[in-house]
Amino acid sequence: MPFARIATVAALGLLVGLAGCGHEPRTETVVAPAAAATGVPREAASGEPALAAESPAPQAAVPEKPAPKKKPAAKADPAVIGGAALDRFVAAVQQRLPEVALDRRDEEVEDLGEQACDALKGGRSATAAAGGVVEQGVTPADARMLVGLAKDNLCRT
């Protein structure tokens, strides 16, 4: 019988001990990565292990990409109409010549159009202007189409 009393007392003690722990939130200690944002492990700097609760997680600094600058509406170059015309030209190239616009930024497409307008204003023929665009890596057929789009949407007449 004494064994039964001991077992009962032990069971009650275990039950009371477990019941008291059920109401507190469970917390865990998490060890932070070895190197902080400075690249020096916290253990090396302070001699103590770093805990995630001590400091917020380091955030990677991502440089913001500056927004592309739009060309001013009134260009000093008299061969080109202005900013709205540049936008129309780029949209026309993206629609009619997607393979030309695919690997180029809008500014690069604008430059191709301005190059075509400058050549035409300088007295060169459309074929000669297209030849200058071909030198920029555009196929001859696409260059002829691009010069036509520049004449229709971008160049001063």
* Segment 76-85, tens digit of pLDDT: 445 666 688 8
Amino acid at 61: A
pLDDT, mean of residues 37-51: 54
Counting residues of the chain whose pLDDT is more than 70, the rounded percentage is: 48
Q: Which pLDDT score, from 0 to 100, does residue 71 have?
A: 47
Q: Which pLDDT score, from 0 to 100, does residue 140 have?
A: 97
**Share in percent of the chain as helix, strand, coil (round to 5):** 50, 5, 45
Q: What global pTM score does this model have? A: 0.49
Where does residue 137 fall: left (phi above 0), alpha (psi -120 to 50 degrees), or beta otherwise? left
**Residue 141 pLDDT more than 60?**
yes
